[in-house]
Each structure stands twice: as structure tokens, then as C-alpha cells.
Structure 1
Amino acid sequence: MAPKAVLFDFSGTLFRLEQDESWLTELTDTGGDPLDIEAQAELMRKMTAPVGQVVELDEEHRHAWENRDLDPALHAKVYAEVLRQSGVPRVEQAKALYSRLVDPARWTPYPDAEPVLKALSDKGIRVAVVSNIAFDIRPAFSARGLDAYVEKFVLSFEEGVIKPEPGIFRVALEALGVDGPDALMVGDAEEADGGARALGCDFALVEPLPTAERTDGLLAALREHGAL
């Protein structure tokens, strides 16, 4: 049976933060030297990791990390520390890079995101986006006309609850008017996104690969679970 609703994660599922080369070319380490390619790649991995502490943190910053997706101020605070520990010691450089992280216009949709959302709409399957995030991602969708296919955005910093806690998925299900067993959750994090199983949802895991490398991951996942 096809699900009546599909819940999507945002980062690494529908969209991915992929830097322009110019983002990091002016970054320098503590010695004033430009960051090499490996350091740049590792920096972006840390900036977009969906779960798991990415650097060693003291108690104050560990609290900020654990609650970063509930409070934009804590999000900014802990990522300033992540950047500092990741070889970006200059405050102005860290602020410039962080501003790109939280700018929805900088995020790139996966190639099959639009076809999948449109196909679900055409079939009458209701859609929500459920994200652990500390900034408003709606502009990333509206800029491309994809908001027309999303009935509800459930964002952790607005709802005061984060995945994998059942409450955040419950908000989405109630908004769509469906029960857990009638819904499919699609995400790139087994622990966080898979929390939807607690409410009876089916779950599809996709890999958070670069968009050029994952061209049909969403289509494949939805077909496998009978949604398309």
C-alpha cells in the first residue's frame, strides 16, 4: 500500500550545503596560510554533520551543541567554536562562513527533489518537511517553487523539540491528518530520522552524498517503499 503521507528531512535528504570555491579560498589558519583542500573538505563535513559531536567541547559548548537546533543563539555560539577548533581562528572569517551555512539560498536541492515532490503531489500524497535546524529553510523551497508541494514545515527551533523525539514527528502527522502507519519518513540519519518508527512510520534511509553523486536516491527510496 502506498503511504498517505511522506515526511522528509532537509539537510542531506532534499537539499545539501555545497560550497562555492570562493567560500573558503580566503580562509587562513593560525599561521596565516590558506586552508588546503583536505582542510576545506573536513571543515564542511563538520559544518553539516547531522548528528554527533564533531570537535571536543567544554561543558558550556557541549550544552550549546546538544541544544543548537532549538535555539539560533546557541547554534551560532557552538559553530563559532567548531570553526575556531577547525582552523578558522579569525572571528570575521568564521562569521562570514557561518552566515553562508544559515543562508537558505546557499543550499542546493538534490536533482530528483523536484520530480519527487511533484510526483507525490500528483498522486495526492501529502508532504511535510521535518528538520532539526536553527534557521528558517522555507526560502530555499519558495525560491524554486518547491514550497507548493510541501504542506507543513516542522522545524525544531520553532517547535521546541528535536528528532528523534516522537513529538516532532507527531506535529507533522497531525498537520497532515494521517497516522504513523500511513506515513513514510525519508532521511539521511538512522538515529534521528529513524525515530519516526516509534509512531509506526515506515523509514527510508538515503546517503547524504554530494548532489552530483546522488541523482536519483530519493526516487529509488520512494519506489522501494511503494510511494511512487
Structure 2
Amino acid sequence: MTIKAVLFDYSGTLFRLEQDETWLADLTDHSGSPLDIEAQAELMRRMTAPVGQVVELDAEHLHAWQHRDRDPALHRKVYLEVLGKSGVPRREEAVALYERLIDPGQWTPYPDTEAALKAASERGLKVGVLSNIAFDIRPAFTARGWDAYVDEFVLSFEVGAVKPELEIFRKAVEGLGVPATETLMVGDSEEADGGARALGCEFALVDPLPTAERPDALLMALRGFGIG
């Protein structure tokens, strides 16, 4: 099979939201005590989990959770609820942390993100970034000049569809102008990103490890399909 386009997931694939001690240092729990290290780590896990419900929610917030990546207002609503139920009961603290979490400038790229994007682009392949997300991630690329390697951004809140729905993969391959059968999807979720297979795409799974522990998984994924 000849691959003519590559779609990359964002969170846990190209970039990772990693714990910054300064964000969490002033957070306090219901008793007013600082969050311990385990609580901080669990908080970050809940804020970045690609699939699955992370806390118990009432019907109103469950609806918001199920549609969070289609609507920024619902995303904000439910994640403030998640923060409140995850040890950050003070609204002002939750809002301040949430604003950092949706700032693409706060996300850390994997060590080989630039090399992977560049390798695909310089081979003449179409490159897309396809993400279930409720905020604009383009600034994370433009700030580094990496937008030069990306032909198309397909963001769930802009197109009204989320992975693994076929519609979002269809929009992505149509935007790149390459058949699904000649497109590789690279992502960290078998459930969400792996849904591209149902449209005919190839799929490569990477592990959403901390960036310091995953130096070359993207390049290895591309090489597995003769790219690089």
C-alpha cells in the first residue's frame, strides 16, 4: 500500500499536557490542605483522558461530557465540574487551572513531533492534524513554525463530529484530497483514533507516555509504513 497522507492526533500523540508544578502548587482541597502529589497526578489524568467518564455526573453534566468536544461552552462547564469533583472545590482555582489547560502554549510537544511532521511533508505527503478538542490548537504549531508542515486541521468543535465517528475521518481525508485507503492515522487511542480503520485508513498506535519517556515513537510509526 502506498501512503499519500498522514493524519496525526494531537493530545498524547503530537503534544502532551504535562503537569507544571506551578499550576497546582496553590490548589487546595475541601479541607484547605494542598493537593498531594498523587492527587495532582490523578487530576491531570482526568483532564486529559481521551475516552471514558472520569467522575460521576448528573444528567445535565453527563450530557455536557458526552458532547464536550463539540461545544466549547459544554467543555468548560463539564471540566469545571470534573475539577470540582477531583479535589479542586474552589471555583476561582478551578477556573484558573482550566484556562491553563486549554491554552495550547502550555502543552509540551513530543521530542520527535517536528521531525515527524517534517518527514511526512518533505516526502510530499499531505499532513493533517485531527483532534477531539474544544479549543483552537493551531497556535501551538504556528508559534514554532510547524504549521508550514500541516495542510489541514480538523478539530471536532469546528466540524461538529468526534472520533471515532466516521464523519470526522471523512472530513479529514476529503480536506486532504487523498483516499482513506491511502491515508495513515497516527494516534494514542485504539478506540478513538483507531476508528479510522472503519473508513479504510491504516492506523498506527503510539503510547501517550510523558514526553521525556517517548523520544521517537512518531518516527517509528512512520517508518513502519515506509515514511521517514
Band the TM-score falls in, shorter-chain normalisation = over 0.9
Residue matched to 1:59? 59
* Cα shift at 1:2: 3.9
Residue deviations 1:133-175, cap 9 Å, x none? 0000000110111111000000000000000011111111111
Please give the alpha-carbon distance, in whole angstroms, between the structure 2 residues aligned to 1:179 and 1:227: 17
Please give the alpha-carbon distance, in whole angstroms, between the structure 2 residues aligned to 1:16 and 1:97: 16
Residue matched to 2:128? 128
Please give the alpha-carbon distance, in whole angstroms, between the structure 1 residues aligned to 2:201 and 2:19: 33
Identity of aligned residues (%): 72
2:60 maps to amino acid: E
Residue deviations 1:80-118, cap 9 Å, x none? 110011000000000000001100100111000001111
Contact kept, 8 Å, 2:19 with 2:41, in 1: the verdict is no
Question: Would you identify which runs of 4 or more consecutive aligned residues in structure 1 move more than 6 Å?
Answer: none
Contact kept, 8 Å, 2:127 with 2:152, in 1: the verdict is yes
Contact kept, 8 Å, 2:119 with 2:227, in 1: the verdict is no
After TM superposition, list the pairs within 5 Å mapping 1:94-109 onto structure 2: 94-109=94-109
2:67 maps to amino acid: N
Q: Does 2:214 match 1:214?
A: yes
Report SS of the residue matched to 1:153: strand
* Cα shift at 1:220: 0.9
> TM-score, normalization: structure 2?
0.98
Please give the alpha-carbon distance, in whole angstroms, between the structure 2 residues aligned to 1:138 and 1:26: 30
> Where does the alignment leave 5 or more consecutive residues of structure 2 unmatched?
none
1:180 maps to amino acid: A
Please give the alpha-carbon distance, in whole angstroms, between the structure 1 residues aligned to 2:170 and 2:122: 24
Please give the alpha-carbon distance, in whole angstroms, between the structure 2 residues aligned to 1:151 and 1:202: 19
2:22 maps to amino acid: S
* Cα shift at 1:4: 0.1
Q: Does 2:24 match 1:24?
A: yes
Residue matched to 1:149? 149
Q: How many residues align?
A: 228
RMSD, aligned α-carbons: 0.8
Residue deviations 1:187-222, cap 9 Å, x none? 001011011111110000001110000011101111
After TM superposition, list the pairs within 5 Å mapping 1:183-194 onto structure 2: 183-194=183-194
After TM superposition, list the pairs within 5 Å mapping 1:1-228 onto structure 2: 1-228=1-228
Residue deviations 1:15-52, cap 9 Å, x none? 00013210100000011100000000000000000110
Contact kept, 8 Å, 1:9 with 1:193, in 2: the verdict is yes
Contact kept, 8 Å, 1:72 with 1:135, in 2: the verdict is yes
Contact kept, 8 Å, 2:80 with 2:95, in 1: the verdict is yes
